[in-house]
Amino acid sequence: MPQTSSPSPVPALVATVVRDAARRFATAGVPEAQVDAELLVAHVLATSRGGVQAAAVRGDRMPEDAAAALASLIDRRCAREPLQHLTGVAPFRSLELAVGPGVFVPRPETEMVAQLSIDALRAMASASPIAVDLGTGSGAIALAMATEVPHARVFAAENSVDAFIWTTLNHRRVGAENLTLAFADLAVAFAELDGTVSVVASNPPYVPDDAIPRDPEVRLYDPPAALYGGPDGLDAVRRLSLVGLRLAHPGGAIVLEHGEWQGAAIRDILTDDGWRSAATHTDLTMRDRATTAVRP
């Protein structure tokens, strides 16, 4: 009798793949399990999260190559490797930044820090105000200022070799011609700009040394130098306050990101150093997230 081949297995529905991935993520303790499942499926399908949702409604099935690529990514996400390391990108305001091992992954909370910096920069009565981002990492805040305030001149410094690779890559990706990068320590960066800067911005390391982050994505994958800021988490803030006074012109502003319990201490540091009008601002979750002050 002639032999008959077995029928090929029917590819799984996109909706089923998303549901199963979300269930595995939830079991592994991944926050926003459904969102991450949709974003990973979108990554392997080269579409958007909305495109995945539409495919699920239509009853589309997963292509074999996409399903194979997804399987290992799901395993890695269940091991709590950051989603952004798996997709290679992190959204930040209107930008899509390249990220990976060696650089701090920009968070949505930092978008309001960028907004405060942008607002201060736009408020300056100058045809070409100057902004500096110290410890720029992926370049998120600097690139946001450069692209959203195109008449400004923006300077960004980073002192980690690994992080500076990502800074440079994102500068090339975005192509902001009004941004200048420097591989330099914040204490000595841009001495040629002393007394001319309108906005000094930074998302410094501010986690106290003994406050180990709970989330594995942070604890295991973010660079320690971008996280830990000394016994009280404010070592870098103390340096930034003094560097900011060196860089800023009278009326210039400083914008610092920090943890939700650090606002009062940072206001005291800035005020004691000579800054004026220190104020702490909340993020969209109503947690203290940034403190600003003005150079007299």
What is the tens place of the pLDDT at every residue in 224-258? 999 999 999 999 999 999 999 999 999 999 999 99
**Mean pLDDT along residues 94-107:** 96
Same domain, 56 and 98: no
**Mean pLDDT along residues 125-131:** 95
Residue pLDDT, tens place only, 175-194: 999 999 999 998 899 999 99
CB distance 106 to 97 below 8 Å? yes
- What the block records as the tokens of 34 is 């459904």
8 part of a folded domain? no
CA separation for the pair 217, 208 (Å, rounded): 18
* Cβ neighbourhood burial of 288 (10 Å; 0-12, 13-18, 19+): middle
Q: Which helix (H) or strand (E) holds 180?
A: strand 179-183
Q: What is the pLDDT of residue 1?
A: 47
CA separation for the pair 266, 279 (Å, rounded): 9
Same domain, 38 and 169: no
Same domain, 168 and 241: yes
Same domain, 109 and 158: yes
Domain count, the chain: 2
223 part of a folded domain? yes
CB distance 59 to 18 below 8 Å? no
Same domain, 125 and 41: no
**Mean pLDDT along residues 206-216:** 93
Same domain, 128 and 217: yes
Q: Which helix (H) or strand (E) holds 166?
A: helix 161-174
CA separation for the pair 204, 244 (Å, rounded): 13
Same domain, 172 and 266: yes
Same domain, 207 and 263: yes
* Strand 288-294 with 276-282, pairing: antiparallel
In this structure, what CATH number is given to the domain that contains residue 289?
A: 3.40.50.150
Same domain, 58 and 111: no
Q: Using the structure block, give the residue that is written with the tokens 């992926």.
A: 138
Same domain, 132 and 56: no
Q: Which domain holds residue 118?
A: 90-294
Written in H, E and C, the secondary structure of 260-279 is CCCHHHHHHHHHHHCCEEEE
208 part of a folded domain? yes
Residue pLDDT, tens place only, 35-63: 999 999 999 999 999 999 999 999 999 99
Which of 56, 79, 102 terminates a domain? The answer is 79
Confidence of residue 3 (pLDDT cuts 50, 70, 90): low
